[in-house]
Chains A and B, each alone.
Chain A
Amino acid sequence: MTRISVTVDGATYADDVEPRMLLVHFLRERLGKTGTVVGCDTSNCGACTVHLDGRSVKSCNVLAVQADGSEVTTIEGLAHDGELHPMQAAFHECHALQCGYCTPGMIMQSIDLLNENPTPTEEEIRSGLEGNLCRCTGYHNIVRAVQTASGQQTSASATLEETAS
Chain B
Amino acid sequence: MIPAQFDYLAPSTLEDALAALAEHGDDAKIIAGGQSLLPVLRMRLNAPELVIDLGKIEALRGVRDDGDAIVIGAMTRHIDVLNDPLVKENAFVITKAVEQLADPQVRHRGTFGGALAHADPAGDLGAPCLALDAQFVIAGPGGERTVEAVDFFVDLFATAIEEGEILTEVRIPKRAGWGAHYEKFVRVAHQWPIVAVAAAVKVAHTDAGATISEARVGLTNMGSTPLRARSVEQALIGQPPTDAAVRQAAASAAEGTNPPSDLNGDADYRRHLVTVLTRRAVLAAAGA
Residues of A within 8 A of B (CB): 2, 18-22, 25, 41-44, 46, 49, 52, 55-58, 61-63, 65-66, 68, 109, 112-113, 127-128, 130-132
- Given A63-B34, A127-B189, A19–B105 Cβ distance below 8 Å? no
Q: Is the CB of B34 within 8 A of A66?
A: yes
- Chain B residues near A130: list those with CB within 8 A: 103-104, 189-190
**Could you list 6 examples of A-B contacts with CB < 8 Å?**
A46-B103, A52-B108, A55-B108, A57-B105, A58-B109, A61-B105
Q: Point out the residues of chain B lying under 8 angstroms from A61, CB to CB.
A: 34-35, 38-39, 105-106, 109
Q: With A and B bound together, what is the CA distance between A2 and B10 in angstroms?
A: 11
Smallest distance from the beta carbon of A42 to chain B beta carbons, Å?
Answer: 6
Instruction: Given contacts A109-B104, A131-B102, list 11 more A-B pairs with CB under 8 A.
Output: A2-B8, A19-B5, A19-B6, A43-B39, A44-B190, A49-B105, A61-B35, A61-B105, A66-B31, A112-B104, A131-B105
Q: Considering only CB atoms, which chain A residue lies closest to B103 in the complex?
A: A131
Option from A2, A22, A25, A46 in Cβ contact (under 8 Å) with B105: A46
* List of B residues within 8 angstroms of A131 by Cβ: 102-106, 190
Query: Distance in Å from the Cβ of A67 to the closest Cβ of chain B?
Result: 10
Please tell me if B3 contacts chain A, counting CB pairs below 8 Å. Answer: yes
A65 and B10: CB pair below 8 A?
Answer: yes
Q: Distance (Å) between the CB of A21 and the closest chain B CB? A: 8
Which listed residue (A25, A49, A55, A62) contacts B2, Cβ 8 A?
Answer: A25
Assuming the A-B contacts A127-B189, A130-B189, A131-B103, are A57 and B2 also in contact, with contact meaning beta carbons closer than 8 angstroms in the complex?
A: no
| Residues 74-127 (chain B) with a chain A CB within 8 angstroms | 79, 102-106, 108-109
From 1 to 25 in chain B, residues with beta carbon under 8 angstroms from any chain A beta carbon are 1-8, 10
When distances are taken between beta carbons in the complex, the residues of chain B under 8 Å from A20 are 2-6, 41
Query: Which residues of chain A have C-beta atoms less than 8 A from B189's C-beta?
Result: 127, 130
Among residues of A, the one whose C-beta sits closest to the C-beta of B77 is A55
Which residue from B7, B31, B102, B104 sits with its C-beta under 8 Å from A56?
B104
Q: Which residue of A lies closest to B108 (CB)?
A: A55
* Nearest chain B CB to A60 CB, angstrom units: 8
Contacts of B133 in A (CB 8 A): none
Knowing A22-B2, A130-B189 touch, does A65 contact B8 (C-beta < 8 A)?
yes
Q: Are A55 and B79 in contact (CB under 8 A)?
A: yes
Q: Check if A19 sits within 8 Å of B104, measured CB to CB.
A: no
Chain A, residue nearest B47 (CB)? A20
Kindly list chain B residues whose C-beta atoms are within 8 Å of the C-beta of A68.
10
Query: Chain A residue with minimal CB distance to B109?
Result: A57
Report the minimal beta-carbon distance from A143 to chain B, rounded to whole angstroms: 14
CA distance A115 to B197 in the complex (A): 31
Whether B105 pairs with A41 at a CB distance below 8 angstroms is no
Task: Tell whether B51 is near chain A: CB-to-CB under 8 Å.
Answer: yes
> A26 to nearest B CB, angstroms?
12
A58 to B2, CA, bound (A): 15
Assuming the A-B contacts A63-B34, A127-B189, are A18 and B5 also in contact, with contact meaning beta carbons closer than 8 angstroms in the complex?
A: yes
Residues of the B chain whose Cβ atoms lie less than 8 Å from the Cβ of A49: 105
* B173 adjacent to chain A (CB < 8 Å): no
Q: Give CA–CA (A109, B2) in the complex, Å.
A: 24
Q: How far is the CA of A156 from the CA of B272 in the complex (A)?
A: 47
B39: which A residues are within 8 A, CB to CB? 42-43, 61
B223 at the interface (CB under 8 A from A): no
Query: Taking the complex as formed, is B55 at the interface, i.e. its CB lies under 8 A from any CB of chain A?
Result: yes
